[in-house]
Structure 1
Amino acid sequence: MSDNKQPGVWEGFKAFLMRGNVIDLAVAVVIGAAFTNIVNAVVKGIINPMVGAIGTKNLDNYSSCLEGSCTGTGADAGIRIMWGSVLGATLSFVITATVVYFLMVLPMAKFLARQAARQKAKEGTREVLEVSELEVLKQIRDELVAQRGQGRREY
């Protein structure tokens, strides 16, 4: 019998749950789901009515038929291509992506750029202070060396 005891399933599961990435991912999913509702409300409540004012509100009705008439049934029926549904889904995706970009990505990028500029300015100030302190210390050293040199000459 060896003393090499492998962790049990429960210990492995607890270790998995205690990882920081799992918690971060869970928070991201919850926030993403909540934000999805906001984006959908903006798209459905503002963007879609504006698009509907320009054109049609429902693109699902647009289709084309291949090999015959789509009004017939049985062997006479043609093959219906529902290109309106594809166009509607594509427009919905583009509109949603645009809303997400302008409401979240762009403001966050500007915020992060400002934060980076502030951090860089702080680091630049520190470097200037460090250089000026170094210069002052060099000047003090040079003065002390000069004073010692003058003192030796007097003897």
Structure 2
Amino acid sequence: MSAVPRGFEDFLLRGNVVELAVAVVVGAAFTAVVDAFVSQVMTFVLTAAVVYVIVVLPLRSTAERRARGGEPGLVAPTQVELLAEIRDLLATAPGGPGTPAR
């Protein structure tokens, strides 16, 4: 005599249990894939938010202030200013113009 009741054995062999087992395994694998994807997306979103707050917002506010005239931008000196600075440095440098050559 079999240890398993006949009705239970029929239920097991009908195939519903096998389909249910396959569904559980596939569901577990799908859960792992979804968890990994959500983790990867969350990492991307958090990194993008930090970069936006640390880099983009300060640069944008600085550009807006410069556009309004609140903060002057970098201005390169003119040729006349550079030549005057060179002349002044040469005049005060030891061995500059006016000193005898060796």
Larger Rg: 2
TM-score, length basis structure 1? 0.34
Ranked by relative contact order (alpha carbons within 8 Å, sequence separation 6 or more), the top structure is 1
Q: Which has the higher helix share?
A: 1
